[in-house]
Amino acid sequence: MKARLRTAAAAAALLAASGCSVVDDLSGDEPPESEYTQAEAYAPMEEAAADAVAGLGDFPGFEQRSWAEMPCSHDGVDDDEYTAIEVRYRFSIADSATEQVRDQYVATLREHWTDAGYEIATDDEVEGAERTDRNLVAVRHDGISLWYAVGGYVGLYIGSGCVPVSEAGEIEYIPPTGGVEPGGPGDLVEEYFPDGIPTTHEALAPLNPPEGRA
């Protein structure tokens, strides 16, 4: 059975509200080139999340981590041989309301991703009556995208772009970062591991930033 676990409706609503999208259209006659298959992509995507967290001082910790998939289409028709993975981290509603998370972290990530040579694809803000929402999207050379989304909740979303679908049994568990307990109530990846989430893994990266990244 191929892994095609989607939460497309909720994700599409979130993406539409922000003006951003990780859903790719497969243009041309040939499938897109990718450095990774679906099974191979989770590790570098989680490493990208851990790298982002490492530079955020006084980090309060994420409330939850989840994995999702979005369809890849060709001429408006979904291609079942490809999927677009999204690794999602979200702060609690209380932490999402702080200036540090909503404002300071945007500036820190902008500087870090620029220094790392990533392309800043989106950098905008929307003034509302009660709050300012922001979107910061960076794209790496390997096609992985990083989206820091500031809305009612604030989240970090890592996208793979379109990658070849893998068999469900090929997908390995990658422990979360940012204070989410592996296999705990905030580790929402149980759909991918019907026999139970492995709990022997340690979380990726400490909360404290390495020297020189505070």
Measure the CA–CA gap between 47 and 72, rounded to whole angstroms.
Answer: 24
Q: Of 54, 24, 58, 69, give the one whose Cα is nearest residue 165.
A: 69
Total number of domains in the chain: 1
- Residue 14 burial (C-beta neighbours within 10 Å; 0-12, 13-18, 19+): middle
Residue with tokens 């590790």: 43
208 in any annotated domain? no
> Which tens digit of pLDDT belongs to each residue from 27-70?
455 556 789 999 999 999 999 999 999 999 999 999 999 999 99
pTM: 0.82
What's the confidence (pLDDT) of residue 14?
Answer: 38
161 in any annotated domain? yes
Average pLDDT over every residue of 178-195: 95
210 in any annotated domain? no
What's the confidence (pLDDT) of residue 198?
Answer: 82
Question: Domain residues for 95?
Answer: 8-191
205 in any annotated domain? no
CATH code: domain of residue 158: 3.30.2030
